[in-house]
Chain A
């Protein structure tokens, strides 16, 4: 009896050390930074704060490395089982030793076997240089974490919540996730620290400028969702996960439908003048269940909107041009943004809705040098190879390769719907008349005659691309009144639910990146 008590005391003592994390001064530091202790993060994340844990005693013999700086856990989020790795930055700044890495690899393996989402709660200074031979180059070293992430990509959802640094090699954990939430002011990603940059390349820069959350969510595009607190990161990650099935073999869950947000109608929102700006977010609100929009990469390449939403309770991925920003023209970054989003939705059976109002891809030396052709090709390839239901709506105009990028008729959308005001053409009337008749226009000396000629040609061109002519030729499948668009989309999403496409066998396409 007494002996048993002795065993228990020893266990209790060890567990108390493990659960308390690192030294009190590091807990204090976290509080000052508005950061939560790793176990408080997990309590917030999991339903009822309940989870099971593996490898609690990792490196227990070291004495000062509780759980070896990472908690690996399995529990429920929104009623769905998920696996989690969460760095403890009170333990050697959340750095990775050999057992840290082994724990992360094992929880990935558990997620794979159980076919459930894998969450990475990252707050880590990177590798422990002193332990490098045990954790860096070997078969089950840090590289295996990334290898597993790549293997699991598209098999199960992988989500990163970045609460602190993700340094050097560690920065690849977020990079290989489907989505990255970053807490402004605390989260950062960089391959080399500002100190290293100053020493090696002579650059003087702050951490925020080089790898801060805002920079990554607005400029580099490595971050997807910028949040102001850890609590917000966790609640938004839960909302994000609610759109996804547990793995690629399942379908997204349906929820109770909601009405649209009260506001202006599509007729009121969309201006008659093809060149005038309007706010596409307002148009989206007029189509989706109120309050369901989840913006992905909101601050990055805002000329294109990508987000998850629900129509009549069904999950849908929306790709919409934003005419209010840069005219809705497609750029290198917007192409990248759409490519990743399409690939994400397609992997997890979320139907795609394209809302096109696009003058085309940007032209000029700057974008050509940046490789807009290959970036555009990448977007078109992703859209073209997606096998989920694809609905293409020409809201106002789709010119040039913009039509192709937004799932135009040639790319086998399940339907291409036009609103009655839509225009589809190689280019707009002004540009087209200029391109075809510029010599003739210049040769007309009388300004009145010249104007008359141009106006006649504009009218002819508009007739040529009249939307009823395109419907008559069966180029587009349907013309729908703006007031009917939501119910049309809801019906089609319902009917396309069991769509299946079987592609001819091959290993994989050659990516045009």
Chain B
């Protein structure tokens, strides 16, 4: 399954999942904050979280991998 990449530069506002968790397609995995807006980052397809690569408060660039799937 494809990694979830940030679609814009911003700060991690909340991490909504844990490693090992099963997520469904369209589930909000992380919320970024950018331009004062909350940006939901959704899983494209269902899968199991392998790694979480950014923590709350971290700055991320567009294209950074936020979460990988097993």
Contact = CB atoms under 8 A, between A and B. Distances in A.
A431 B36 contact: yes
B7 interface: yes
B25 interface: no
B62 A327 contact: no
B39 A277 contact: yes
Contacts of A325: 7
A363 interface: yes
Interface in B16-70: 33-40, 62
B9 interface: yes
Contact of A323 (B8, B9, B37, B62): B37
Question: Which of A277, A363, A428 counts the most chain B CB atoms within 10 A?
Answer: A277
A275 B8 contact: no
B38 A276 contact: yes
Given A326-B7, A366-B62, A359 B38 contact: no
A324 B39 CA distance: 7
B8 A326 contact: yes
Contacts of B37: 275, 277, 323, 327-329, 359
A195 B8 CA distance: 34
Contacts of A360: 35
Interface string A364-397: 1010000000000000000000000000000000
A28 interface: no
B38 A364 contact: no
Contacts of A359: 35-37
Contacts of A363: 35
A362 B8 contact: yes
A449 interface: no
Contacts of B34: 326-327, 329
Given A326-B8, A329-B8, A362 B35 contact: yes
Contacts of A323: 37
A275 B36 contact: yes
A454 to B, nearest CB: 15
A372 B25 CA distance: 33
A272 interface: no
Contacts of B33: 275
Contact of B36 (A277, A326, A362, A430): A430
Contacts of A276: 38
Contacts of B38: 275-277, 327
Contacts of B39: 277, 326-327
Given A366-B62, A430-B36, 5 more contacts: A275-B36, A323-B37, A326-B8, A327-B35, A359-B36
Interface of A: 275-277, 323-329, 359-360, 362-364, 366, 428, 430-431
